[in-house]
């Protein structure tokens, strides 16, 4: 719970810590640039899926 809480709301940083530098990070950065909320939602899905 603690690690998920630390990584979840941070968007691209959480995805980077969870998956490393791969296509998930690029998608998350793009979505965060387009709008903060879509980037956060995608990051949560990626972190939960791992």
7-24 average pLDDT score? 81
Mean pLDDT, rounded, for 7-20: 78
pTM: 0.75
Domains identified in the chain, total number = 1
CB count within 10 Å of CB 37 equals 11
CA angle, 37 as apex, 42 and 7 as ends, to 5°?
55
pLDDT at residue 31, as a whole number: 92
Give the chain's mean pLDDT: 81
Would you state the pLDDT for residue 49?
Answer: 87
- State which residues form the domain around 26: 2-49
Contact (Cβ atoms closer than 8 angstroms) between residue 18 and residue 45: no
Q: Can you give the C-alpha Rg of the chain in angstroms?
A: 9
């Amino acid at each position: 719970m603690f690690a998920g809480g630390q990584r979840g709301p941070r968007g691209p940083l959480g995805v980077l810590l969870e998956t490393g530098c791969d296509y998930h990070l690029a998608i998350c950065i793009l979505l965060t640039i387009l709008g903060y909320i879509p980037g956060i939602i995608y990051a949560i899905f990626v972190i939960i899926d791992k």
